[in-house]
Structure 1
Amino acid sequence: MSASTSTRRRGAELEHALYEATVRELAESGYGRLTMEGVAARARTGKAAVYRRWSTKQALVLDALRHSLPPLPGFEPEMPPRDNLRAVFTVLCQIFGGRTSFPGLAVITGLVADPVLRNAIVEHIVSPRLRVIESILDNAVRTGEIDAVRPMAVHIGPALVMHSFLLTGNPPDEAEIDQIVDTVLGA
């Protein structure tokens, strides 16, 4: 067995390297200039290793994005809705701000021009987070902590977090997150 064979990455280790390479390529080059060959070179593997796993760059990018997301904050029924929402919005700030392995809002805005990726991002990244917010608000109504869920309440928090990034380039601070939570809860 040669030295190169004994150090060859396989399975999960190789996939992890390919995910990391994809996210770095997205951050540095953008989606339009990302290539399967570039990802393979960055991961120090052959392009056949990439094409065996993903037939399109869309599929590769979507899997890399899902892999790079921090765990979805869960809805904790015993916690007050304010604390649950604060946890969700704090993680959202970290994601958008590129403070996780996820590439951040600047990269995501470059992906939504591709309809397939936009739909996949909504289905796999946005919608699960909105469902957590909806569960928090529905539980708050059941427990009497709020009277009703206002129309668009589920979307307000993420929209305000994104709005802060777009206007200032920075995530909301803790006081602003508290104001966003109050807005969502109708306080």
Structure 2
Amino acid sequence: MAQRRRGAELEKALLDAAWGELADNGYARFTMDAVVKRAGTSPPVLYRRWSDRDELIRDTIVHILKASRPAAPDTGSLREDLLALMRHIATEHVQLITVMYAHLASYYRETGRSPSSLFDPVATGRAAALDEVFDRAVDRGEIRSEILTERIKTLPFVLLRHEILMTFAPVPDHVLEEIVDTVFLPLVR
């Protein structure tokens, strides 16, 4: 007999099932019933936690962004730290970024939310990871802290996201190096 899931284990199973539905079927065909079936549970279990699909989708996105956040690398140089992060994202997160932007267009339109409302860097832990990379670079004397606005810190990742959305494929290394070497580093040095 299968052991009954509870608490955090059950919530993770529900959110993972919801992510699977989003990734496989997109927002338009996303239903609470499909999540229940995929998670192997009952409707009351799901509805006790989320009253509607948009609330579930928002929590699913935050959950998957937290779970997929790579650790902040420490290679000894800002260039290599950025490239390590970008290589991970460029290969491992293509599906995530595609789902977030292409599959959820109707969600954004219907709920009035924007992708930035789901990509909250504090909630997902991304802000702390990026700050760690940049703080080490400042400590090593590679860049000046007064130059690092939030927009500048995110610039290489915005350009990376653009590349992924233009191809829906992993981004080649030479493109990552071009973003870091010809756009970002000259800007901050």
Per the normalisation by structure 2, the TM-score is: 0.74
- In 2, the alpha carbon distance for the partners of 1:31 and 1:87 equals 31
> Where in structure 2 are there 5+ consecutive unaligned residues?
none
Q: Give yes or no for contact 1:97–1:171 (8 Å, CA) kept in 2.
A: yes
Q: Is the 8 Å Cα contact of residues 86 and 181 (structure 1) preserved in structure 2?
A: yes
Among candidates 130, 150, 160, match of residue 133 of structure 1: 130
**Aligned match of 1:179:** 178
SS of match in other structure, 1:7: coil
- 2:98 paired with 1:106: yes
Q: Where does residue 56 of structure 1 map in the other structure?
A: 52
Question: Counterpart in 2 of 1:90?
Answer: 87
Cα root mean square deviation, aligned? 2.9
Q: Does 1:7 align with 2:2?
A: yes
The 1-side partners of 2:180 and 2:24 are apart by 34
Maintained 8 Å contact 2:18/2:57? yes
Report if aligned partners of 1:18, 1:50 keep a CA contact under 8 Å in 2: yes
**Does 1 or 2 have the higher relative contact order (CA < 8 Å, sep 6+)?**
2
Change (3 A) 1:63 1:150: closer
Comparing 120-129 with 85-94, greater Cα deviation is found at: 120-129
CA contact (8 A) 2:155 2:184 kept: yes
* Superimposed CA distance per residue, residues 104-163 of structure 1 (whole angstroms, 9 cap, x where no aligned partner): 222111144333463541215797435533443354244321356366422321121122
Is 1:16 aligned to 2:12, yes or no?
A: yes
The alignment's TM-score, normalised by the length of structure 1, stands at: 0.75
- Find the residue that maps to 1:9 and give its secondary structure: coil
Paired residue type of 2:49: R
In the alignment, residue 43 of structure 2 is paired with which amino acid?
Answer: K
1:118 corresponding residue in structure 2: 115
Higher helix share: 2
CA distance in 2 between partners of 1:181 and 1:166 (Å): 18
AA at the equivalent of 1:184: F
Which AA in structure 1 matches 2:133?
I
In the superposition, relative to structure 1, how do residues 55 and 86 fare at CA in structure 2: closer, same or farther (>3 Å)? same
